Amino acid sequence: MKFLDLGQQPIANAFLTPGKCENEFFYNLEVGVDLETSLVSHVDFVPPSMMFNDTYVYHTSSSKTMVKHFRSVAKEIKRDFGDVKILEIGSNDGTFIKNFDLDKAIAVEPCGNFAKLTTEMGYTTHNEFWSQKLAVQLAHRHNRFDVIYSANCMCHIQDLDSAFRAIYYALDDNGVFIFEDPSLLEMLERNSYDQIYDEHAHIFSVTALNNILHTMGFEIFRVDKTPIHGGSNRIFVKKKHSIKNPPDGSLDIELEQEDLAGISDKQTYLDFAKRVETSKHKLLELLHDIKDGGNKIVSYGATSKSTSVFNYCGIGPDLVDYITDTTPDKQGKLSPGVHIPVVSPKEGFDDSVDYAFLGAWNFLEEITKKESKFLRRGGQFITHVPEVRTLRGEPANV
């Protein structure tokens, strides 16, 4: 059942060189839910090679929050599962895998620029998309893995059936598959529709994952909730026949919470779509009021989330003067779709800024600590999560 249309959208991380914006790719971003499995997915997918390639610009290590998060996750894996042989699917710039010994860890990364980084670190890295063919090659070359880990990657893979079957093949019979992705329940409750963009082919509920994984011969034995990316689930999976890692009860708790929230009820999604439309109108009204008052508005963080919001709402340089971002590969470029200039924070986040839209609202705590001077002098952040409003002083977490 289709329930949401976010309109014409570009590739969220395809930043443009000024003067070279012709023939920019757009697609219509529609979202639906399979009421039988509760899986929420795009109606149509963008070809993976258009999103994940040698020019991919998002560096996990650019965020202190993410560096700390993955260091902590690696420590927990070692504590709970021992000195494991681990495979990471979607290793990005190596922020997670660098916490493991070179001879104990293998990386899979389709973006050539990042695969080069982990290779230079000394890790065996396979520069290709995860597939059943690759799983067979890895199992034969390295034997099967004690732990397969993937963060913010499984939701990118369009063919989940093939992806999970490949993991089953590459995983040791008593091994553990651990993955974390944004939570559908959190998105619905926060009205954070900007979790939906080209790369996020699916937004997972625990209910949907339990339904799908069960048919693949897997069993979820633990679910951890994390605040990362605005609310995520870390799912711990084993093969059904394994007697190790008995269920700890957390799956039942999550399934009950999602059931109470109506995760399998079509009205839940229709109501969400109405809230998204209301959010759009309120955000535009707020931005116009601020701009009409003679204030300067910028955006903080050239993120995929802000790409989704700005293109859905039709927010361009007439409302947002520019976007500040710490990523060198984005600076001097134009944002996808609406073509707002991107500059470095040193160049653009100065005393002339009155308001800053939180393109990275999920890193609010890190940002407010870093930009305390901006807040003390009366600057205000703008957010649309969970509702459209401005944030003054020391704001609480959204």
Query: What secondary structure does DSSP assign to 13-71, as a single string?
Result: T--B-TT--TT--EEEEEEEEETTTTEEEESSPPPHHHHSSTT----GGG-HHHHHHHH
Task: Kindly state the average pLDDT of the residues 317-331.
Answer: 96
Task: Kindly state the average pLDDT of the residues 257-272.
Answer: 98
Task: Kindly state the average pLDDT of the residues 5-21.
Answer: 96
pLDDT score of 396 = 46
Q: What is the pTM of this model?
A: 0.94
Q: Which own/partner pairs from 167-171 qualify as long-range (CB within 8 Å, at least 24 positions apart)?
A: 167/89, 167/135, 168/216, 168/217, 168/218, 168/239, 169/132, 169/135, 169/136, 169/139, 170/87, 170/135, 170/138, 170/139, 170/144, 170/145, 171/144, 171/145, 171/239
Domain covering 2-32+267-391, topology: Rossmann fold (3.40.50)
Residue 203: pLDDT over 70: yes
Return mean pLDDT, the chain: 96
Q: What is the pLDDT of residues 59-95, one digit of tens each?
A: 999 889 999 999 999 999 999 999 999 999 999 999 9
Residue 169: pLDDT over 60: yes
Residue 224: pLDDT over 70: yes
Query: Would the CATH topology of 2-32+267-391 be identical to that of 36-263?
Result: yes
pLDDT score of 7 = 98
Domain covering 36-263, topology: Rossmann fold (3.40.50)
pLDDT score of 395 = 46
Residue 270: pLDDT over 70: yes
- Asked if residue 58 lies in contact with residue 26, where contact means CB atoms within 8 angstroms, the answer is no
* CA angle (363, 365, 369) in 5-degree steps: 120
pLDDT score of 282 = 98
pLDDT score of 392 = 84
The ranges assigned to domains in the chain are 2-32+267-391, 36-263
Q: For helices 266-292 and 304-313, give the axis angle rounded to 10 degrees.
A: 80
Exposed / middle / buried, residue 108 (Cβ in 10 Å: 0-12, 13-18, 19+)? buried
Q: What is the pLDDT of residues 93-134, one digit of tens each?
A: 999 999 999 999 999 999 999 999 999 999 999 999 999 999
